[in-house]
Amino acid sequence: MLRVTCAIIFKDNKVLIAQRSKSMKLPLKWEFPGGKIETDETMEEGLKREVMEELNINISIGEALSPVEHHYHDFSLNLYPFVCAYLDGNLEAKEHAQVKWESLANLEAYDWAEADMPVVKELIKMFG
């Protein structure tokens, strides 16, 4: 099964959320930045690499949240979320339609990729 990590990047009490582009799988759904882990890297290495590739920023990686196993109609994944902090770099949306800093209280209003719903709920329960 596909192993995907995602970063819940905090800065000034807001988290970075990203909208997938029209041409990606799950078009226009919101997600946390991240991606598939390659076989020769740890989850932490993969997550830092993906975030730099997608957003041009450095992050530090903290606590893991509960992994989510999700089955879409055409693929299945295990999603491994990590609480992270913004370190440095100029934010650029290199692959996504848009990215934004959002407060936890507003997260549930977005049209999330289905696999992310349990992550959003856990996040709000822990920090909201």
Binding site for ligand 8GT (CB under 6 A): 4, 6, 24-26, 31-32, 34-36, 77, 79, 113, 115-116
Which DSSP category does 107 fall into?
G
Of the two residues 36 and 103, which places its CB atom closer to ligand 8GT in the complex?
Answer: 36
Nearest distance from C-beta of residue 98 to ligand 8GT, angstroms: 15
> From its phi and psi, is residue 50 left (phi > 0), alpha (psi between -120 and 50) or beta?
alpha
Q: What is the DSSP string of 34-100?
A: EEEPPTTS-HHHHHHHHHHHHH--EEEEEEE---EEEE-SS-EEEEEEEEEEEEES----SSSSEEE
Residues 17, 92 contacting (CB under 8 angstroms) = no
Q: What angle do CA 2, 30, 61 make, to 5 degrees?
A: 65
Of the two residues 24 and 85, which places its CB atom closer to ligand 8GT in the complex?
Answer: 24
Nearest distance from C-beta of residue 82 to ligand 8GT, angstroms: 11
Of the two residues 35 and 99, which places its CB atom closer to ligand 8GT in the complex?
Answer: 35
Nearest distance from C-beta of residue 87 to ligand 8GT, angstroms: 19
Instruction: Find where tokens 């909201």 sit.
Output: 128
Of the two residues 26 and 93, which places its CB atom closer to ligand 8GT in the complex?
Answer: 26
Nearest distance from C-beta of residue 46 to ligand 8GT, angstroms: 9
Select the residue whose beta carbon is closest to ligand 8GT and give its number. Answer: 35
